[in-house]
Amino acid sequence: MKPDIQICNHNYLLADAAHRMENQPLLLRSYQALVVDEAHKLPDAARQMYTEKLSEADMDDLCLQLQQAHYLHLEQRLRSTFLAFSISCGQNLSRLRRKDSVSFTLTPFRREALADCIAILQYAGAILGMPRYLRHRLGEAESFFRLFLLEVPTRILYIDYDADGKPTFCAASSRVPQLLRSALWNTREPAILTSGTLAAAGDFSHTEQLLGLTTYRPLRHFRADSPFNYKEKCLLYLPPRIMARVDNRRMAEEIVQLVDACHGHALVLFTSYRQMAEVRALTDGQWLYPTYQAWRNGGKIIRQFKQSSNGVLFAAGSCWEGIDFPGDMVSLLIIAKLPFPIPDPVSDYERRQYPNLRDYINAEIIPEMQKKLRQGFGRAIRTEQDSCVVAILDERAGIGGRYHDAALAALPICPTTEKIEDVQQFIREQKRPDYFL
């Protein structure tokens, strides 16, 4: 008999697990074994799955349904009270440079506005003859507002603001590892979790914690050695010791030297779109190689870069992983900054679970950086024939830098240099004559 294999994404798997726990109709057929590929992404998918959200658009839709059901007075009262709550959570637009998130604080005015919203929703839900679908929507909204009014301790409450300052209210679970354990691991089915970046500097403990596996036994680890000969095919360039803080202008100068030394064929990765744009502008006109800048949803730009053969691509976001650049396409990978996670209300909550900042950084921040750095590094060499220079321009990764050891621990062992001349020599030795045409 042929094996029966079902394939789905992480979100669908988690949705199916939720249905199983609530005795709802299954989304997947029963299975005897589970294989989770790209398992390093599962905690983020779970965080999204276990986060409830309510936006102005959601409330507009609920009010519209009340209006269409001819509950005009209720619709007007609910719209008015929710507007008062939104105004109480308003953000100064002059401070919004991008989409921003802030922790929710329950002030007296917000408490009153929330109580008014809940009272209206309660009253509406008790009306005789209220359509079932509408009663359900009203009940969901009421339960959501109660999370904020009662400041439920198992929820991380925060507000997402878009570029126009419009709020989306979010209630994330503070128990994602426990929820994953209940949903996926506390079953009789064996599970295999696989990814190139499950370990941080060779240690699986951080991923085990995120996935709710710390108390799960038996738990077995396996690390496969890379087939790539990094000691001969890769050269790691770090900022010279004499360099102080690498600002955008100094970074642009370094990038120009490296691109010239490698004759283009470069991918420059940033952790910030804003810094990417500023550094790209500072390098404008400094070389003759075709140059591209990939913003969000930059698939077309990436295809153009791949077809250019010797271009330079400035990128951020999704280009850190999942994009394949085989051959000489990327013979120079520049990592502008170490990819530390950006602080947000969820990380603020996690920080408070540790006795001091140092313990939090060592336990959470550095392992996250190491896994993301390894993902970015993986854009460099994609086949056994590839060769590449990898440059990390963050002075904290340089020799004597604060995170030098942590950065090196995340990467394969390969020769290291601080000299542009060594980069030029490496490229001359590794590349065929047609590379330089």
Kindly state which CATH superfamily the domain 230-436 is placed in: P-loop containing nucleotide triphosphate hydrolases (3.40.50.300)
pTM for this model (two decimals): 0.89
Structure tokens at 243: 């360099």
Give the domain ranges of the chain. 10-50+177-211, 51-173, 230-436
State pLDDT tens for residues 93-107. 445 445 688 999 999
| pLDDT at position 93 | 46
Mean pLDDT in residue range 381-386 = 92
Q: Which CATH number fits domain 51-173: 3.30.70, 1.10.275, 1.10.287, 1.10.357?
A: 1.10.275
Question: Residue 63: pLDDT band by 50, 70, 90 thresholds?
Answer: very high
**Chain centroid to CA 71:** 42
The answer on pLDDT for 237 being more than 90 is yes
Structure tokens at 117: 């919203």
Beta strands 51-55; 100-103: pairing state: unpaired
Nearest to 277 by CA among 296, 262, 260, 263: 296
Residues 67, 75: contact at Cβ < 8 Å?
yes
State pLDDT tens for residues 45-60. 999 999 999 999 999 9
How much is the mean pLDDT over the chain? 92
| pLDDT at position 160 | 93
Q: Largest Cα–Cα distance in the chain? A: 82
The answer on pLDDT for 309 being more than 80 is yes
Return d(Cα 49, Cα 79) in angstroms, integer: 27
| pLDDT at position 96 | 47
| pLDDT at position 99 | 60
Beta strands 312-315; 266-269: pairing state: parallel
Among positive and negative, which fits the CA dihedral 105, 106, 107, 110? positive
Structure tokens at 163: 């570029």
Return d(Cα 156, Cα 30) in angstroms, integer: 33
Q: Which of 157-161, 228-232, 298-302 has the lowest mean pLDDT?
A: 298-302
Return d(Cα 245, Cα 241) in angstroms, integer: 11
Q: Which of 6-10, 293-297, 304-308, 348-352 has the lowest mean pLDDT?
A: 293-297
In percent, the amount of the chain with pLDDT more than 70 equals: 96
| pLDDT at position 100 | 84
State pLDDT tens for residues 65-101. 999 999 999 999 999 999 999 999 986 544 544 568 8
The answer on pLDDT for 26 being more than 70 is yes
Rg (CA), the chain: 26
**Chain centroid to CA 345:** 14
Return d(Cα 104, Cα 431) in angstroms, integer: 55
| pLDDT at position 245 | 67
Strand 266-269's sheet: what is its strand order? Answer: 291-293, 312-315, 266-269, 332-335, 388-392, 234-237, 416-417
3-class secondary structure for the chain? Answer: CCCCCCCCCHHHHHHHHHHHHCCCCCCCCCCCCEEEECHHHHHHHHHHHCEEEEEHHHHHHHHHHHHHCCCHHHHHHHHHHHHHHHHHCCCCHHHCCCCEEEECCCCHHHHHHHHHHHHHHHHHHCCCCCCHHHHHHHHHHHHHHHHHHCCCCCEEEEEEECCCCCEEEEEEECCHHHHHHHHHHCCCCCEEEECCCCCECCECHHHHHHHCCCCCCCCCCCCCCCCCCHHHHEEEECCCCCCCCCCHHHHHHHHHHHHHHHCCCEEEECCCHHHHHHHHHHHCCCCCCCEEECCCCCHHHHHHHHHHCCCEEEECHHHHCCCCCCHHHCCEEEECCCCCCCCCHHHHHHHCCCCCHHHHHHHHHHHHHHHHHHHHHCCCCCCCCCCEEEEECCHHHCCCCCCHHHHHHCCCCCCEECCHHHHHHHHHHHCCHHHHC
Q: Which residues contact 123 (CB under 8 A, 6 or more apart)?
A: 74
| pLDDT at position 165 | 84
Question: Residue 330: pLDDT band by 50, 70, 90 thresholds?
Answer: very high
Report in angstroms the alpha-carbon separations of 60 from 85, 192, 374: 14, 44, 44
Residues 54, 73: contact at Cβ < 8 Å?
no
| pLDDT at position 215 | 83
Residues 144, 157: contact at Cβ < 8 Å?
no
Nearest to 286 by CA among 316, 319, 254, 332: 254
Return d(Cα 193, Cα 346) in angstroms, integer: 25
